[in-house]
């Protein structure tokens, strides 16, 4: 990212225009440029590089886009432009959109391969703007990097190191409970799900900000690899399960944004981090566990483990009586069936929060979709031997029943948002390469800003 921006005031002028203005723009050009456009068959879609009629060198870059208000309008631009420095000609709001798409479109997860990063650089004239762009983009890049990292290098201890580094960078407070400490401190479901792995399960805790400020607590599912447990996944279903800690990645990226922009909140981030592995001490279908809240849960399926680690963390989150409680999780395939892989679903117990969050998603081109906490479906979670089953008897409405399970561990008076996200791009789009992705993070950040920044 550092190589994609450059502080200064000199560079090839770059113009971003809606393609509906191409004809009028063309009429204002010199005869030489008109001839150039005709000879290159440029029709007002995409990038054109305009040569100087004396030297032949590029003196201007013009990029025509369909939607000039989209954050992703320049998602391919850094890769399309030849090596050089480019100075965008536009107002502050549009500069932010261009800078955002420019950097995220050029993103490459290159930790394990030779770096082939594009060599075009965007000139930023103001140091303050440069920092803003870097902070905004870094929150998303952090999510992508964490999700893309192979499980061999992204186990619970690695997530803890990431959160420790984040706490150190922003003068936060860090703590964790590891292995059997989870039992001693009464986090039984986190321990149960993670105990079969050689990588010890843990609950990771980061706090930051004025203790007297409104409390915002983030909880992220940190299943660093999900084999399915004894209800083993098929090979195809297991292939991308390094991304099952995507919820943790999302709250870490969101925390980075909150701290980097110094929002006036008391932030707490809780990540239950485990590997759902198979061993002689793995938890079994039919087992019953007493959760931190005291609710007993029968294990119907060991592959429905995310809600198990989240329920203890959500219960812990209530200790602070947060003003806002948000969890992110790669929780159900059912949500992907309902909304596809690119639209994150969310559930909430507060209609005003839902309306504000949806509007924030529109504001920053990070759309989210509300799904219902349909109470009658709670019957599907009944167990003959425990208070709840961890898995509904029917696969229909699976995202709803998973959310209803989590709701049992949230106090009714606490404004709560539950995100069920894919955390992965299955297809390449402008600004969004294949692989790990942040969904709903910018929408949530914009909402928190609008809620707490006067």
Q: Which residue carries 């054109």 as its tokens? A: 48
- Asked about 233 being catalytic, the answer comes back as yes
Pick the catalytic residue from 26, 85, 233, 378.
233
Q: Is 57 exposed, middle or buried (0-12, 13-18, 19+ CB in 10 A)?
A: exposed
Q: Which residue carries 């969101």 as its tokens? A: 254
Q: Which residue carries 């990038």 as its tokens? A: 47
Contact of 338 with 430, CB cutoff 8 Å: no
Question: Nearest-CA neighbor of 81 among 124, 130, 122?
Answer: 122
Q: How many CA atoms lie within 13 A of 259 on its CB side?
A: 26
Q: Is 237 exposed, middle or buried (0-12, 13-18, 19+ CB in 10 A)?
A: middle
Strand-strand pairing, 288-290 and 58-65: unpaired
Distance of CA 264 to the CA centre of its chain: 22
Pick the catalytic residue from 121, 144, 202, 307.
307
Contact of 76 with 430, CB cutoff 8 Å: yes
User: Residue 69: helix, strand or coil by DSSP?
Assistant: coil
- Asked about 268 being catalytic, the answer comes back as no
DSSP string, 353-401: HHHHHHHHHHHTT---EE----GGGGGGG--SSSSEESS-SSSTTHHHH
Exposure string for 373-383, b = 16+ CB within 10 A, e = fewer: beeebbebbeb
**For residue 140, what are its two tokens?**
């998303």
Q: Which residues are catalytic?
A: 233, 307
């Amino acid at each position: 990212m550092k190589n994609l921006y450059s502080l200064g005031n000199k560079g090839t002028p770059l113009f971003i225009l809606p393609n509906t203005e191409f004809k009028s723009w063309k009429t204002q050009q010199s005869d030489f440029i008109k001839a150039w456009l005709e000879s290159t068959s440029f029709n007002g879609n995409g990038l054109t590089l305009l040569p100087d009629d004396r030297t032949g060198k590029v003196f201007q870059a013009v990029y025509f886009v369909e939607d000039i208000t989209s954050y992703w309008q320049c998602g391919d631009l850094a890769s399309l432009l030849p090596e050089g420095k480019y100075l965008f000609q536009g107002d502050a709001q549009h500069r932010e959109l261009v800078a955002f798409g420019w950097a995220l479109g050029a993103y490459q997860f290159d930790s394990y391969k030779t770096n082939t990063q594009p060599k075009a650089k965007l000139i930023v004239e103001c140091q303050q703007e440069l920092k803003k762009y870097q902070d905004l983009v870094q929150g998303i890049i952090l999510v992508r990097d964490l999700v893309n990292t192979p499980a061999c290098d992204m186990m619970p201890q690695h997530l803890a190191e990431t959160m420790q580094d984040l706490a150190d960078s922003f003068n936060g407070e860090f703590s964790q409970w590891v292995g059997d400490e989870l039992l001693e401190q009464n986090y039984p479901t986190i321990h149960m799900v993670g105990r079969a792995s050689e990588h010890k399960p843990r609950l990771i805790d980061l706090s930051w900000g004025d203790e007297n400020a409104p409390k915002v607590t983030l909880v992220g599912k940190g299943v660093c690899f999900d084999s399915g447990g004894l209800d083993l996944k098929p090979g195809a279903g297991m292939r991308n399960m390094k991304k099952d800690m995507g919820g943790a990645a999302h709250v870490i990226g969101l925390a980075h944004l909150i701290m980097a922009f110094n929002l006036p909140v008391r932030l707490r981030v809780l990540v239950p981090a485990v590997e759902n592995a198979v061993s002689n001490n793995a938890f079994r279908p039919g087992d019953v566990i007493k959760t931190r809240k005291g609710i007993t849960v029968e294990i119907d399926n060991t592959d429905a483990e995310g809600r198990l680690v989240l329920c203890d963390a959500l219960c812990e989150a209530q200790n602070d009586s947060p003003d806002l409680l948000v969890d992110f999780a790669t929780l159900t395939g059912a949500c992907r069936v309902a909304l596809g892989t690119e639209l994150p679903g969310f559930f909430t117990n507060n209609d005003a929060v839902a309306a504000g969050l949806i509007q924030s998603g529109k504001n920053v081109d990070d759309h989210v979709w509300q799904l219902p906490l349909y109470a009658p479906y709670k019957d599907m979670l009944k167990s003959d031997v425990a208070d709840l089953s961890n898995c509904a008897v029917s696969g229909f409405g699976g995202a709803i029943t998973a959310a209803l399970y989590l709701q049992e561990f949230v106090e009714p008076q606490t404004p709560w948002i539950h995100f069920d996200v894919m955390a992965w791009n299955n297809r390449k789009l402008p600004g969004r390469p294949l692989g790990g992705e942040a969904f709903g993070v910018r929408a949530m950040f914009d909402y928190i800003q609008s809620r707490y920044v006067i």
